[in-house]
Amino acid sequence: MRTIDFSREPRAVLELMRWQTLVSPEIEQRVQQILRTVEAEGDEAVTTYTRELDCKFIDSLGLRVTEREEKAAYKSVSKDFMRAMKVASANITAYHKKQLPKSWKLNARGVMLEHRVIPLRRIGIYVPGGKAAYPSTVLMNAVPARIAGVKEVVMTTPCSREGKISPEVLVAAGECGITEIYRIGGAQAIGALAFGTESILRVDKITGPGNAYVAAAKKLVYGRVGIDVIAGPTEVVIVADESAHPSFVAADLIAQAEHDENAVPICITDSNLLVEGIQAELRRQVEGSPRKMVVLSSLRRHGVIILVGRLKDAVNIVNELAPEHLQVLTRKPERFAGKVTTAGAIFLGPWSPEALGDYVAGPNHTLPTSGTARFSSALSVSDFLRFTNIIRFSKSGFARLVRHAEVLAEAEGLVGHAASVRIRNEER
């Protein structure tokens, strides 16, 4: 993991702020072709792509996971897993219930205004597969959707070559009340959810992370369907001073790096001694990681320790990076965090590792990546709601505001607008 001295190489740090491109033109072109085919050919195209890319037995298994498979999953997971998942689900539910907005009305002098909160009718959750299983992704997407009042929640997830899906993922879906599950992944799954096929009804919105092909597909179907975010590689920035445990910092960097080769683990510190300790701990801890090759690739390609002269510089760097995850391991983490304006989620102190936030803390772990925390936020209950404005004027309310509307319409040159209120004024 390389080290950059900010005082000597400020440009190298600025380069880090140019986050990886979310979707390459080559991938986007391939995904466009897949989406066009899925839209035109429906189930046949989805089945063909799944057979080629994931499961050779898809024709005999079928796209939809059976009730028998869902029930079998419960028998193959451990009691410890069930207990952990119920704790996580309870915490996620408690946190997200606090987010639920309410409809309201305002009546004033002949004008009735209403802000109505309406849940989406049908949403699709994409749960990654392939290199790992992610039951936590099911919880983080399905729980807020259910709290919002979404009636139909559909899930797609890639299967193995034999057509299997992680039993933990299926159990998580079952606990969230998801009974419509499809063993499909990649761009073809996004296309099926967005356009609909003979056997999969289209959805109103698609949420959930995925690889570059999934990100490209979500980008391209946006407008035909809603999406949460276009997710880039996952990232963490750890700000630490001399009070931090080198072993903690190294462990948290490794935890981020093990996601995949494109994960971005960054540490910012004002302590030369800590830099040395982190590097030593990384060498020691990586050797014992079952995902050693993935971790090493991430650390070598994207990992960096930034040495700053003072933590004030770290604040500026963090606000420019707008990281997905920010961990603050300093003597006064609240003081530092109070100066941070752009981060997806902030973890304070030595006993708040990102891993707790990923699973059991309660806040959502679907966060903005690639610097998009500058203008977007974590997935929330509001992502599964629509907000409709309702307006009703009485005759007296109309009379009070009609002339103002007419003046503004004329100022914009929209004579029809002005006429539509004037004609009512003449009839009043």
Q: Which two structure tokens, joined as six digits, stand for 24?
A: 């390459």
Name the maximum alpha-carbon separation found in the chain: 85
CB 47, CB 200: distance < 8 Å: no
Residue segments in the chain with a per-residue pLDDT below the cut of 70:
17-22, 130-131, 428
Instruction: Give catalytic residues, as residue numbers.
Output: 324-325
Domains plus CATH for the chain? 2-20+233-362 (3.40.50.1980), 25-102+121-227 (3.40.50.1980), 394-427 (no CATH)
The interaxial angle of helices 246-257 and 292-302, nearest 10 deg, is 100
∠139-321-264 over CA atoms, to 5°? 60
pLDDT tens digit sequence for 353-406: 999 999 999 999 999 998 999 999 999 999 999 999 999 999 999 999 999 999
Q: Tokens standing for 72? A: 């079998």
pLDDT at 359: 96
Neighbours of 79 (CB within 10 A): 7
> For residue 20, what pLDDT is reported?
59
- Among 259, 129, 124, smallest CA distance to 185 is for 129
